[in-house]
Amino acid sequence: MRKVIGILLLGSILLLAACGSNEKSQETTNDTMTLQLDEKKIVADKNDIFTVTGKTIPNASVSIGDVSVDADKKGKFELMHVYEGDKSYKIVASKKGLGDKSTTIHVTQPVAVKDAQQKAENETKEKAQQEIEAKAKPNAAKISFAMLQKDPDKYARTAYYIKGQVAEVINDGPTIYLKVNMTQESGTWKDLVTVIYTGTTDAQKGDIIEVYGTIYGTYAYDGPNGATITMPGITASLIRVVK
């Protein structure tokens, strides 16, 4: 009799253990990754930081690139990241043993901050341009074409000014190359230099232009027969068409 009771008790224990194991397995199987954001269009603050909030499964990791946080026991999270420009960012929720869940947000700057930064950039460019113009003509008076041709690299990054006639215009994507004769003598123009300009200009072959910028140094390019041709180069920050 005791033996029968013992067998029944053992069977009950094993059955309970099996049921517990099945229940635990069922819980794990039903646990799926979720990711819900409070906002998908986010504006960064004045310090160029933006915050993403939302909900996922408890203790999951939520990340933007290399920056991540763990959700709390209720699955809520708050993730902060540095604003890197108006663009979309990928948010990923993950947890060991489960597949990742991802979505995207779009982040912008406040209009006031953007306007202030643009204004500061414009002021900086304008100040730099004014400094170049203030130094360019005095330096041009000191550095003749003969000096420049002899050793262009000696004067590299020096503010400089030329007034000359365009001999050729070469468009190469965002950069424009102008071959310019910078010396007028007896009604003709001579002394060829290459003007390098990133931007747009209305200058055409035959136009008289003023160029403010800095001396590039030696500009080299391949000639028609494969030979390397060198001449002084001028990096332009401003081009004015005179006529």
Q: Mark which of 58, 84, 109 sits at the end of a domain.
A: 109
Dihedral of alpha carbons 209, 211, 215, 221, sign: negative
Among 109, 125, 141, residue at a domain's last position: 109
Residues 6+ apart with CB under 8 A from 93: 33, 34, 35, 56, 57, 60, 61, 62, 71, 100, 101, 102
Identify whether residues 131 and 77 lie together within a single domain: no
Is residue 13 a part of any domain in this protein? no
Residue 10 lies in a domain: no
pTM over 0.85: no
Is the confidence at residue 122, as pLDDT, over 70? yes
Q: Which one of 87, 109, 131 terminates a domain?
A: 109
Lowest-pLDDT range, 81-90, 115-124, 128-137?
A: 115-124
Helices (H), the chain: 2-30, 111-142, 145-150
Mean pLDDT to the nearest integer, 151-157: 96
The reported pLDDT for the residue numbered 159 is: 93
**Sorting pLDDT into bands at 50, 70 and 90, what band is 24?**
very low
In a domain, 73, yes or no: yes
Q: DSSP letter at 152?
A: G
Encode pLDDT of 27-38 as tens digits.
333 478 999 999
Residues 162, 180: Cα–Cα separation, whole Å: 9
* Whole-number pLDDT of residue 10: 47
CATH of the domain at 78: 2.60.40.10
67 confidence band (pLDDT: 50, 70, 90): very high
Domain total of the chain: 2
pLDDT exceeds 70 at position 13:
no
Predicted confidence at residue 26, as pLDDT, reads: 38
- Pull the structure tokens for residue 18: 């099996």
Residue 143, pLDDT > 60, answer yes
**Looking at the structure, do residues 45 and 156 belong to the same domain, yes or no?**
no
Domain CATH for 139: 2.40.50.140
- Domain match, 130 and 233 both: yes
Is residue 71 domain-shared with residue 161, that is, in the same domain? no
Print the domain residue range for 66.
31-109
